[in-house]
Amino acid sequence: MTISGTQLVAGNITRFGGGFIKHVNTTMKLVESMLDRRVTRNISLTDHSPSDLAALDHPYASRHGSKGLQIHDPYWSVHSQSGNLLRSKKSGTEKASVTGGNLKASAFVGINDNGAPYAIYIIYGTSKMIPRDFLENSKSEVEGQAVALIGKNLKNLVTNFRGK
């Protein structure tokens, strides 16, 4: 998630010093935590075992349509089996900086594909399985809350928000 400000704001931040930048970094840690909790929730379902899913006629099979059988809401949630996907989750923030007249700070949550090489197939789907992009959809679920949190903590300084 990226925050950008105006030239005047950047000048004021530069004159003010590191206190504000520290506050931006703290705020982005809160956004990271919010996003991390949502991703964790979306990849750690335990209500169906692999044998339950087989008995339900493999609800994520593409033959059931673009959203599968939707045995739960949201449909992009992922059932935990080995726990490798959850353990491969990574998150962090990039330190705030003022460059070219813009204040930029970011928070991220992703998956280390060395820990869960099959994550790409869950996210993008296969010829037999629907895509369940738990990363992008988790970001979309918290985007409004994140913008509100950033605006509140930075006194409505946010002038442009771009989630990636």
User: What is the C-alpha separation between 143 and 133, in angstroms, rounded?
Assistant: 15
User: What is the C-alpha separation between 76 and 11, in angstroms, rounded?
Assistant: 43
pLDDT band at 97 (very low <50, low <70, confident <90, very high): confident
User: What is the C-alpha separation between 28 and 86, in angstroms, rounded?
Assistant: 22
Which of 82 and 160 is assigned the larger pLDDT?
82
Give pLDDT tens digits for 101-112.
677 889 999 999
Domain count, the chain: 1
Query: What is the token pair recorded at 156?
Result: 């409505």
The range of the structural domain enclosing residue 8 comes to: 2-162
Q: How much is the CA Rg of the chain, to the nearest whole Å?
A: 19
Q: What is the pLDDT of residue 164?
A: 52
Which of 155 and 61 is assigned the larger pLDDT?
61
Q: What is the pLDDT of residue 145?
A: 94
**DSSP string spanning 43-56?**
T-B-SS-HHHHHHT
What are the DSSP E strand ranges found in the chain? 2-4, 89-99, 102-111, 160-162
Mean pLDDT of 82-105: 87
Give pLDDT tens digits for 5-18.
555 565 665 555 56
